[in-house]
Chain A
């Protein structure tokens, strides 16, 4: 499945109320999970692709920000911000680092909006592949926060 096809597929799903969708065919596996009131998270697995065979997904641009050149692996989960606010990466155990193993439900960061803190947790076990924001930076709805790999 090509990136364009995935984008088309997501467009259709975004217009629907579907909260979770999973599709397997010829070794290809795509799972789509949307939490109520949050940006969608996507997990894509393709047995035919090697780890090196990664594909570029356009990140949500912030104003004035240069286009990111990093690539998200096909097996990565992209954690996006469900709200506008200030992101705090220190959740009590020091700032979260790339390479850290995380468990499902573990708090990855906190986002403060109107003096209320909201915790952003991992939806499944994995390793932090990329931290895409800086501590105390401004985030908006849909800003990519982390890539979590296996």
Chain B
């Protein structure tokens, strides 16, 4: 097992990783930018190292500084969290060269995931087979598969670097915007194209694999409630799946992971059309923002498992041992103003009182007096509720949202309260266009 892990991330996920490390008896080194000097992850880690100024490119995306910090503090592994360098194949490779274990998949698994999945006979959404650099080539492919098409950043996530193009007229503009956005957000301008399926549900499966090739899946997460491709509400299990479909999709998810010799935690994402057809869209080779809902229903600590798998331990869980208890829902509380088109709201958090009681979990790194820096994403807390059934999980969301007190910055708490009372949501009747159709975004 590892002795010391460097946490190359910030905010709530850095704290989340630190917690699992503490429980495993592993020392932690938190790297941070000057903007995060007084943050909770820095305070709670065993050691900390400042790696640069506030902008991500000079700190959390600065590979030489991070590796140097790992070296001078004697870390044997690096946990990248989500975003930043978590799915950067070059970083995974450099870590290996430096004899530092990257807690995530191999460079090959990140790079070849899509191709190998197709080779393994997994049904995918029609689109470009590889990264497209040239605008002309991209347009040809878009014509071939037919509009609307979706342009996505290879290193993407969280809705960044992703755009729908409805016709050939606006293609060039959108293509360039996507490349610029991808470069800015992830330091990698590579993008690809796929057919855009209208009104689907976004269903994803958590997979866990070890180095001996043993892979299992956890029940699905329904992440269909999105605003501009950014997930806002996630729940497990999905109201749209029955046992039969769950098993079919879960087996497919395992097949994807097996095709790339996947030996860590990951998420296989599908889109499910209203007729029940599903297509593999991508695999996220990292721990995800919404992982807590799976933890709540399965009782598994996914971050702990991820660390153990990276250390080469055997996965001592069989598929038939994975069962889910009840229902869990997560809402993402960002510092943004729902009344003003969700513009980011930075500044000092003057009051911060988190809800509690049965079935409530809050993952956050915020405290009263915290200054939200303008340089990073606006996620300030994840509110997760767990109930014996969907109804109870929703009632707990309503109750917890009422208890949550955040003063000083704007948050979408009232927006989530509307969703938790909305008729179609209560019936489980929604898809990725839900917020747009209900005029909630």
Contact = CB atoms under 8 A, between A and B. Distances in A.
Interface stretch (A18-26, A41-49, A127-135, A136-144): A136-144
B48 A63 contact: yes
A84 B34 contact: no
Given A83-B68, A114-B68, 18 more contacts: A14-B34, A14-B54, A39-B53, A63-B48, A83-B64, A83-B65, A84-B49, A84-B50, A84-B69, A85-B68, A85-B72, A86-B72, A113-B68, A114-B64, A114-B98, A138-B73, A141-B34, A141-B65
Contacts of A94: none
Contacts, number: 46
A57 interface: no
Contact of A114 (B48, B50, B53, B67): B67
Which of A39, A84, A114: most chain B CB closer than 10 A?
A: A84
B71 interface: yes
A114 B51 contact: no
Contacts of A14: 34, 53-54
Contacts of A95: none
B315 to A, nearest CB: 34
Interface residues of B, number: 20
Interface of A: 14, 37, 39, 60, 63, 83-86, 113-114, 138, 140-143
Contacts of B34: 14, 141-142
B366 to A, nearest CB: 21
A85 B68 CA distance: 6
B58 interface: yes
B72 A141 contact: no
Given A83-B65, A113-B68, A141 B52 contact: yes
Contacts of A142: 34, 50
B64 A141 contact: no
A144 B47 CA distance: 19
Contacts of A86: 72
Contacts of B48: 63
A84 B58 contact: no
A89 to B, nearest CB: 16
Interface in B26-81: 34, 47-54, 58-59, 64-65, 67-69, 71-73
Nearest to B49: A140
A63 to B, nearest CB: 5
Contacts of A140: 49-51, 69
A84 B65 contact: yes
B385 to A, nearest CB: 36
Contacts of B67: 114
Contacts of A37: 58
B67 to A, nearest CB: 6
Closest 6 CB pairs of A and B: A113-B68, A84-B68, A140-B50, A141-B50, A84-B69, A140-B49
B52 to A, nearest CB: 5
A113 B50 CA distance: 14
Contacts of A114: 64, 67-68, 71, 98
A39 B52 CA distance: 8
B335 to A, nearest CB: 18
A27 B67 CA distance: 46
A138 B34 CA distance: 17
A55 to B, nearest CB: 21
28 contacts: A14-B53, A14-B54, A39-B53, A63-B48, A83-B64, A83-B65, A83-B68, A84-B49, A84-B50, A84-B65, A84-B68, A84-B69, A84-B72, A85-B68, A113-B64, A114-B64, A114-B67, A114-B98, A138-B72, A138-B73, A140-B49, A140-B51, A141-B50, A141-B51, A141-B59, A141-B65, A142-B34, A143-B50
